[in-house]
Structure 1
Amino acid sequence: MSLDSLKERVQADTSVLDGDDQPLFTPDPAAVAGSQLTAFIRFVERREGLVLPDQAALQRWAILDGPRFWTALLAWLAPPTSGMADPALLGDRCETARFFPDLRLNYAEALLAGDDGAEAVIARRADGEEVRLTRGELRRKVRCLASGFQTLGLAPGDAVAAVLRNDVEAVVAVLAAAACGATIATVGPEMGPDILAERLETLEPRLLIVSAEPRPQDGGAPVVDRVSELITKLPSLKAVVALDGAVIDGGALPVLRAADLAEGPEAAFDRFPFNHPLFVLFSSGTTGKAKGFVHGAGGTLLEHLKEHRLHGDLRPGERLFFQTSPAWMMWHWQLSALASGAAIVLYDGPVDAPETLWRLADETGATCFGTSPPYLGLCRSLDYRPGDHLALKALRSVLSTGSVLSPQLARWVREAVKPLPVQSISGGSDIIGCFVLGSPNLPTFAGEAQCVSLGLDVRPSGPGGEGELTCHNPFPSRPLSLLADPFGVRFHEAYFSRHVTAWSHGDWIRATPRGGVILRGRMDGVLNIRGVRVGPAEVYAVLADEPRIAQALAVEQSDETSGEARMALLVVPVAGVTVDDALRADIRRLLTRRASAVHAPAVILAVDALPTTHSGKLSEAAAADAVNGRSPHNLATLRNPESVTAIRQAMAAWTRDAGGAAGGSAEDWLGAVWRTLLGAETIGLDDNFFDLGGHSLTAARVLAEVRRRTGRRLPMATLLHAPTIRTLAAVIDAPDWSASSRIAPLRTDGTGEPLFIVHSMTGNVLQLHSLVRALDCGRPIHGVQARGIDLDEAPLADVEAMATDYVAAIRTVQPKGPYRLAGFSFGGLAAFEMARRLEAMGEPVAELILLDSKVDKRFLPAAERARLLMRRLAHHARRIRRMPLAEILVYLRDRAFALAGRRAPPAPPLHEIPPRLQAVRDGIVAATGRYRPGAYGGEVLFVRAEIPEDIPFDAASAFRAAARGGVTEMVAPGDHDGMIEPPHAATLAAMLSERLRP
């Protein structure tokens, strides 16, 4: 694909952070009626004598009466068990409750039930070798190997460590150990011996199971050497079992072949307590020593069955593929799909092309395809469209997890694969399951998970439906304990210290009115940039529409000069793309326009790869250490530790280049300042400040540095006159140069009466740079700026006072009419009042243009206020429909304060704005809230943005009521801020130029 065609794919998208209002996929009513979720709802209705019209009603009952819900679910799922299902729950505290204390089961038995001839496993390697097993074949292999393990003395409660590939042998070995009642920890062969030992030594395993034969995807030291070294670090071992033909040095320990052990009779399936420890899973370990989560057999089985059958509608005869490895909890999640009667599809090999996994799904007839946003992003960036090349006839759903799935990627799946539900699921190794998932009965919306897990009281911690993900009731897949934490101190600190009665998961989420969940990313990855919290997911959501970027990672980096935190963005470009200053400027403009100025990174570094853990997750902690010059806590947790060195070197080079020529001429030190603030490696003397991504906040920092070095206080408008290093240096070197702080000449070409454009909420006219540059009206153009922007003046907080001040200022440029006035946003209110003052003075106003200007909604005409009230009520009703009662009360309280003209709590200041500019902005906000347009005899041109705000209203109605000369309306493309920015600024400029030409 050419770069030009790539650029054509970059489009504005107002929903990048909060998803869509229209569903991507709506299930057929017949499919809903026939889903397993609907069957379970009917079962509960009959069993409990309830009326449950939909999933939401089932969820409300499940939370109100948890023990009866879990008992009913167990009865409906009917896994092989013995003992009593009553009581279902001991205790009601999430931290300490225990499920089904008198029930017994065997995890392996539950997974292996079913017809002997039914398909169970399809396993493929990178070289194309494939193994298929039926349930009968798999059951016999598991029982025979379990018998062999028992001959080695493996007993219930013994610990087993396993270094495994993603193949049939791994499935057989894990289920055989589970059949014996062992507690199993699985890790991947890509890990080094030190990190393996760190994870496994506290487990004190009796048996080590390994797959160590070389594979094409292996890197670093041979796996057999790593395993041999690992053996020396685990003194608790009694034996080693090799699943393949690798020659392993076991030292004094016996090394046995699994094939030899499996030659004996088949073992019986003994049943163990519901809370018998089954799996030990580990956290990534990038921020400290990896935590080991001990998970019970019953909780794991019950939760996975619920997720697969009710949320995924997985049935006998279907095939589930997930892109995973034994080092990640999704491997165990996929393994449990056997208990639903489905077959699992395994792949052991590299993903060396975008079609690799899609082709596997097509050739194996996978019905459910599980992957991650990075893989989907890879396919999208390389313009690989699976639906154009493969039939994918059996495929009915796509699951995504591991990181936040952007709305753009969700829409891409629908367009490039086929119309089907794209379900974003999220949980963790700590719960060996999911807190948010999909549903066969609900529509899917881009950018959000469909629902929370059934029976789990999951909600955001903060008011208004946003905050940390918390769970307020017991759930069966909560870990039994942590390894090496006998009194539960570390467990409590990690999950119950922030909210004592609720599990605190560390994910930042927002609940949607329709019951879905928008995932913002990890709380520990949130950046604090100049006092503003920035979620990296917000950055990634915007960058998903930049096709030249394959991957990106945003981390916080300390500016040694100012001591402030700034954002560093690590970028992996797509093949054939160079991360040059033009692309850096495009990235900053995109983030500034679609998110905010504070989302624009100060540093953009091109790298070949991002730090990735062995479970396939990007490591923000390792990247942050690298850009800040710190030694990462544990390089062994990464599958590509060399990426950290590369990032450190790139950061050092950027610092060296940006800081060069810090002294010398004004051009020299200005170049260093611009490179630092704009994050560009090279900036030419004639490169335009605004084309490089500069904006009003950056301009304020540039001029502050000019004042620090020279003692001169230049007006904010200086950069409009001198937008290059060469011209700004000339201004600095000319001591007699000055520019009016109130009236800023923006265009000096043209003839006739000038056009005066009034500032927006920022108080200055830098925001209007793109629009002004695109105007071709044949007239001079002057910007009107707020009092207090440059000089030590008290800002005004009243539109009438501003209009008086501004009229006096423009008359120093044009003493007599006719006047031509325009204003963007707030500027339109000031321009309207200026026109009224000029009219009262007997001065003609030839043109009055209001660009998407809005009065306070209290001052709309009565009919429009009534219509807006109805829209608001409908909007709030949709939001609170599925909120828990406690959140509804907080939400209604906040709305009541808003109606009273107050905030609770007060809105925080925008810390990224310097105090002087913040004071100006505060005055403008106050002025907006008090201004009611008075009568005006002239005509008004009102230009509104094509894309309205969340609750739209007719902003022009206030001016139609006031302007006796009438209001002409036009529509400009884009939203409120986007209409004056590229690419829409050119369209708006053409509309205005036609009207303004002499």
Structure 2
Amino acid sequence: MAQHRDKTLHVLLDQQAERCPDKVAFTFEGNTLTFREIREQSNQLAHWLKSLGIQPGDRVGVALDRSLDLVIALIAVWKTGAAHIPLDPEFPRERIRFMLEDSSAVLLLTSRRYAGYLESPVPEAFLEDLPVQPTADLVSDVGPDALAYILYTSGSTGKPKGVMVEHHNLVNLLYGMLVLPGLSVSDKVLAITSVTFDIAFVELFLPFLIGAETLIATREVARDGRAMLELMRTKGVTFMQGTPATWKMIVNAGWNERLPIRVISTGEAISRQLADQLLERSLEVYNLYGPTETTVYATGRRIFPGQERITIGWPLLNTSVYILDAAQNPIQAGETGEIIVGGKGVARGYLNRDVLTAERFLPDPFSPGNWMYRTGDLGQWSQQGDIEYLGRADQQVKIRGYRIELGEIEDQLRQLEGVKEAVVVTREDQPGEPQLVAYLVTEWEALSKGQVIAWQQTLKKSLPSYMVPPFYVPIKEMPLSPSGKVDRNALLKTPKGNAIGHSHKPPRTRLEKEVAEVWQTVLDIEEIDVDDDFFDLGGHSLIALVMMTMLEERLGKKLPIASLFKAPTIGQLARLLESEEGVYWGSLVPIKPTGTKPPLYIVHGLGLEVMIFHGLARQLDPEQPVFGIQARGLNGEVKPQRTMEEIAASYIEEILTHNATGPYCLAGYSMGGLIVFEMARQLRALGRELKLLAVFDTYVGDKHPDVGLMYKIMQQPRKFLFYLGAFLKDPRSAVQFHWKTKLGFARRGKTGSKNPEGVVGEIVAALKEANINYRLQVNETDVLELFRAKKRDEFIYDPVYMGWKPFLKKGVRITEVPGDHHNLLQSPNDVEVARLLQRILDQNGASNSRH
């Protein structure tokens, strides 16, 4: 296509109109336009737009119903040298206003039926008002690098982001599609897609470019499988593209015979079952892939019967595809990495999103002088050299401490007996408690619990237990968005009560029933298996605290929260409550006791317990043992120590009993950082080897030798400005923080024990007393690893070293971690903290196996 690289698309369309002026180009509801008529009418509109002040480089919003006028309007805007912003009149008006303002549109081209309705922030021009204008070509001084359109896609910030596509990007795509899947002048294309979905440009302009005919379906037809099938049968349609959801809708509408049509599947992964159904009913089936940012399509291939795996094929014309690891290095066949697309289709970037553009659009190191786009999709090279699509990287969700690819679960669900369609979403009916829910279209009218159990048993053969959805919602058909994709937001509106749960082993004893009722309350799950793991059901430290309190009040029996590590199921916990044998109230708690690396010991903060370390432990290396150290005296039978030296000594005693030879890796959270500092001093005095001394956001600035009363007085203006800035930046968060810090311990006590003031309150008071009286001595031997939270809600005198620097002769090594003081160890921050912590453990030599 070298001869076409220097031309804009509208120039190429005019050249095609010269070759077949009287051939029908478009048909809509029985009305037709020839190539000559399209050229002349778009010229007339372009002249009018120019008279309204539209100039090359401007942006024009186009909000029209599906019609012949829509095609004319799109081409006319190009002929003025401007770019268009495709808008759907059915979009929320607030969204339309945002796109017009964000794109700096100078005009909204629409119809009188929408006059004033869209509440446009820019002047409106109505097609019905088009005066008599010349039909001669309007020459605009724009080249192939000119902007063709700005297409808005969903943004992670909640606001749409505009993708800027240039003429040469679109021209390259269309000529590439003439190669694969190919199109001839005798073809008739059925156009069903909204112009707000970029594949619409293929439907409208690929046939025009080659001299074929396009049949434009109305909005109503494009939503009706039976109506689309009728057009396919009666209008000689030979080429059509749609999402898998659209093709399923047509198949389910009664498409049983073979039609002379080539099928393009796009937008989402196509299942083996659907591909086979389409192969039986059509001439050819193609699977095409590509993000908007690389101009519609980047790869593709034809699907054949009996093909072992359905892939997204090979790069299209002038397109390069790389699969790279996190360090942007190529990976081998069979390894999973991010799909990166380079070549002529890479768009200009995101409008007004310089930071995001810099993150996703990168210089192509494999083709100097060109650019490549990070798709956020995961894939791998097959042994045959084509690309297997493995789902969205940003479709990863965090469930029970694990990162999960929803696409992987959906793929396994579609292979189950009786499942036609499957989509998995995360529901968070209780804040902070996301759960996997599978929405299924099945071969049966009703779905039994027995069938769900059978499915789960099958899924557990190929998926970890935490990836097996606990809930299944039967639905008649998948809801679709205007672009023809599955509308996941609509699925979330389906009542949770429609879900069929996974419980098949109900409580048997009275005690199991008591425990189950409490779990059902705190986890908001109607039915729970006696063998279900508390953590796999979404349990975490706060829920555990409430649950244990309710059990204590209900049964009059008390267990430490850490018992859940030993007895995480209803059956196990009930047996522990019944016997009370082996109930452990000591300090050392095995969170993840197995592994070949030297164990990590993490000391509690003022929260006293170690459940908060559970997520972090799960994210660390499988061979990294983790033990928590909880406060002594939680059962009220042992008086807490009141000096830091005594507290550290008691914890060391338990550690040495567990691990007499070492080496030792110590970490402390919040006030626990002071405890491990003293523990390190005592271990060194005993001649023990220390591989790690780490603290998680522990502040000791008040103990700094220079921080006296006069210094604090001098710092009051800085302190005032800090809190004023925090309030102005986020008033609600600032007020909530101070409210929590004043009432936090009282609340924690009320949920932590039947008599918090006598037990938890006494331990907290003892810890505070120990903190006040403790005098840090200089550590001559160790480097302190300070994990400092990025977000700071409270003013501190030393925001860099948090007061530690004078007390470490060998220095303080700072690692900044996501989150604030209270949530840095919670999901999703625990993933990054664990990664950084494991790296430091291994660098410090703590990766050596124990013998």
State the TM-score, normalized to the length of structure 1.
0.48
Q: CA deviation at 1:577?
A: 3.6
**Contact residue 23 and residue 34 of structure 2 kept, 8 A:** yes
Q: Cα distance 1:653–1:569, how it changes in 2: closer, same or farther (>3 A)? A: closer
Q: Cα distance 1:110–1:442, how it changes in 2: closer, same or farther (>3 A)? A: farther
Q: Cα distance 1:199–1:273, how it changes in 2: closer, same or farther (>3 A)? A: same
**Contact residue 442 and residue 450 of structure 1 kept, 8 A:** no
Residue 451 (1) aligns with residue 314 (2): yes
Counterpart CA distance in 2 for 1:680 and 1:545 is: 27
**Contact residue 110 and residue 126 of structure 2 kept, 8 A:** yes
What does 1:18-37 align with in structure 2 at a 5 Å threshold?
none
Which residue of the partner structure matches residue 279 of structure 1?
149
Counterpart CA distance in 2 for 1:148 and 1:212 is: 17
Three-state SS of the structure 1 residue aligned to 2:461 is: helix
Residue 408 (1) aligns with residue 273 (2): yes
Q: Any idea what the Cα deviations from partners look like across 1:43-67, whole Å, max 9, x if unmatched?
A: xxxxxxxxxxxxxxxxxxxxxxxxx
Which residue of the partner structure matches residue 600 of structure 1?
468
Which residue of the partner structure matches residue 85 of structure 2?
185
Which residue of the partner structure matches residue 330 of structure 1?
199
Partner letter of residue 187 of structure 1? L
Q: Any idea what the Cα deviations from partners look like across 1:200-248, whole Å, max 9, x if unmatched?
A: 11223233222465xxxxxxxxxx3xx51434x414x2x4124xxxxxx
Three-state SS of the structure 2 residue aligned to 1:312 is: helix
Q: CA deviation at 1:162?
A: 0.7
Residue 294 (1) aligns with residue 199 (2): no
What percent of counterpart residues are identical?
17
Residue 315 (1) aligns with residue 184 (2): yes
Q: Cα distance 1:547–1:284, how it changes in 2: closer, same or farther (>3 A)? A: farther
**Contact residue 313 and residue 440 of structure 1 kept, 8 A:** no
Counterpart CA distance in 1 for 2:304 and 2:452 is: 43
Which residue of the partner structure matches residue 398 of structure 1?
263
Residue 206 (1) aligns with residue 106 (2): yes
Which residue of the partner structure matches residue 614 of structure 2?
none
**Contact residue 193 and residue 200 of structure 2 kept, 8 A:** yes
Q: Any idea what the Cα deviations from partners look like across 1:418-476, whole Å, max 9, x if unmatched?
A: 4x432221212222221211269999664212212233221211333444444474x22
Three-state SS of the structure 1 residue aligned to 2:297 is: strand
Match of 2:439 among 571, 585, 597: 571
Residue 120 (1) aligns with residue 25 (2): yes
Three-state SS of the structure 1 residue aligned to 2:332 is: helix
Which residue of the partner structure matches residue 602 of structure 2?
none
Q: CA deviation at 1:559?
A: 9.9
Residue 136 (1) aligns with residue 36 (2): yes
Counterpart CA distance in 2 for 1:547 and 1:324 is: 32
Counterpart CA distance in 1 for 2:18 and 2:530 is: 68
Which residue of the partner structure matches residue 53 of structure 2?
153
Higher alpha-carbon deviation: 169-178 or 420-429: 420-429
Q: Any idea what the Cα deviations from partners look like across 1:307-363, whole Å, max 9, x if unmatched?
A: x21111112121223441011111122222011222223212335554332322222
Three-state SS of the structure 1 residue aligned to 2:408 is: helix
Q: Cα distance 1:265–1:730, how it changes in 2: closer, same or farther (>3 A)? A: closer
Q: Cα distance 1:498–1:448, how it changes in 2: closer, same or farther (>3 A)? A: same
Q: Cα distance 1:148–1:352, how it changes in 2: closer, same or farther (>3 A)? A: closer
Match of 1:175 among 75, 84, 90: 75
Partner letter of residue 20 of structure 2? D
- The root-mean-square deviation of aligned C-alpha atoms, in Å, is 5.0
Q: Cα distance 1:469–1:110, how it changes in 2: closer, same or farther (>3 A)? A: farther
What does 1:468-487 align with in structure 2 at a 5 Å threshold?
468-471=337-340, 473=342, 475-485=343-353
Q: Cα distance 1:472–1:140, how it changes in 2: closer, same or farther (>3 A)? A: closer
Mark the runs of 5 or more structure 2 residues left unpaired by the alignment.
326-330, 583-657, 659-830, 835-848
**Contact residue 452 and residue 517 of structure 1 kept, 8 A:** no
Partner letter of residue 11 of structure 2? N
Q: Any idea what the Cα deviations from partners look like across 1:246-282, whole Å, max 9, x if unmatched?
A: xxxxxxxxxxx15x43664343455621111121111
Q: CA deviation at 1:175?
A: 1.0
Counterpart CA distance in 1 for 2:157 and 2:478 is: 17
Three-state SS of the structure 1 residue aligned to 2:270 is: coil
Mark the runs of 5 or more structure 1 residues left unpaired by the alignment.
1-72, 83-102, 124-128, 214-223, 243-256, 624-639, 739-793, 795-907, 912-925, 927-998
**Contact residue 278 and residue 297 of structure 1 kept, 8 A:** yes
Residue 109 (1) aligns with residue 37 (2): no
Q: CA deviation at 1:600?
A: 0.4
**Contact residue 281 and residue 430 of structure 1 kept, 8 A:** no
Q: Any idea what the Cα deviations from partners look like across 1:684-718, whole Å, max 9, x if unmatched?
A: xxxx979xxx799979999x9999988799999x9
Three-state SS of the structure 2 residue aligned to 1:320 is: strand
Counterpart CA distance in 1 for 2:526 and 2:132 is: 63
Counterpart CA distance in 2 for 1:443 and 1:314 is: 25
Partner letter of residue 496 of structure 1? L
What does 1:526-925 align with in structure 2 at a 5 Å threshold?
526-546=396-416, 552-556=422-426, 567-571=435-439, 573=441, 577-578=445-446, 581-605=449-473, 614-618=482-486, 623=489, 646-647=493-494, 650=496, 665-670=511-516, 673=519, 681-682=526-527
Q: Cα distance 1:600–1:404, how it changes in 2: closer, same or farther (>3 A)? A: same
Q: Cα distance 1:412–1:441, how it changes in 2: closer, same or farther (>3 A)? A: closer
Q: CA deviation at 1:730?
A: 10
Q: Any idea what the Cα deviations from partners look like across 1:947-970, whole Å, max 9, x if unmatched?
A: xxxxxxxxxxxxxxxxxxxxxxxx
Three-state SS of the structure 2 residue aligned to 1:228 is: coil
Partner letter of residue 512 of structure 2? A
**Contact residue 498 and residue 504 of structure 1 kept, 8 A:** no
Q: CA deviation at 1:403?
A: 1.4
Which residue of the partner structure matches residue 817 of structure 1?
none
Q: CA deviation at 1:513?
A: 1.7
Q: Cα distance 1:361–1:430, how it changes in 2: closer, same or farther (>3 A)? A: same
Residue 522 (1) aligns with residue 522 (2): no
Q: CA deviation at 1:178?
A: 1.4
State the TM-score, normalized to the length of structure 2.
0.56
Three-state SS of the structure 1 residue aligned to 2:25 is: strand
Three-state SS of the structure 2 residue aligned to 1:433 is: coil
Q: Cα distance 1:651–1:112, how it changes in 2: closer, same or farther (>3 A)? A: farther
**Contact residue 286 and residue 303 of structure 2 kept, 8 A:** no
What does 1:418-433 align with in structure 2 at a 5 Å threshold?
418=282, 420-433=283-296
**Contact residue 550 and residue 573 of structure 1 kept, 8 A:** yes
**Contact residue 322 and residue 371 of structure 1 kept, 8 A:** no
Partner letter of residue 439 of structure 2? V
**Contact residue 319 and residue 344 of structure 2 kept, 8 A:** no
Counterpart CA distance in 1 for 2:228 and 2:486 is: 20
Three-state SS of the structure 2 residue aligned to 1:298 is: helix
Which residue of the partner structure matches residue 247 of structure 2?
376
**Contact residue 138 and residue 172 of structure 1 kept, 8 A:** yes
Residue 234 (1) aligns with residue 102 (2): no
Q: Cα distance 1:162–1:579, how it changes in 2: closer, same or farther (>3 A)? A: farther
Which residue of the partner structure matches residue 34 of structure 1?
none
**Contact residue 282 and residue 293 of structure 1 kept, 8 A:** yes
Which residue of the partner structure matches residue 236 of structure 2?
365
Counterpart CA distance in 1 for 2:478 and 2:486 is: 7
Partner letter of residue 190 of structure 2? F
Partner letter of residue 52 of structure 2? L
Q: CA deviation at 1:492?
A: 0.8
Residue 164 (1) aligns with residue 64 (2): yes
Which residue of the partner structure matches residue 510 of structure 1?
380
Q: Cα distance 1:183–1:573, how it changes in 2: closer, same or farther (>3 A)? A: same
Which residue of the partner structure matches residue 611 of structure 2?
none
Three-state SS of the structure 2 residue aligned to 1:147 is: helix
Match of 2:361 among 488, 495, 501: 495
Three-state SS of the structure 2 residue aligned to 1:261 is: coil
**Contact residue 469 and residue 504 of structure 1 kept, 8 A:** yes
Which residue of the partner structure matches residue 33 of structure 1?
none
Q: CA deviation at 1:368?
A: 1.8
> How many residues are matched?
560
Match of 2:227 among 340, 356, 362: 356
**Contact residue 311 and residue 437 of structure 1 kept, 8 A:** yes
Partner letter of residue 569 of structure 1? V
Counterpart CA distance in 2 for 1:584 and 1:443 is: 29
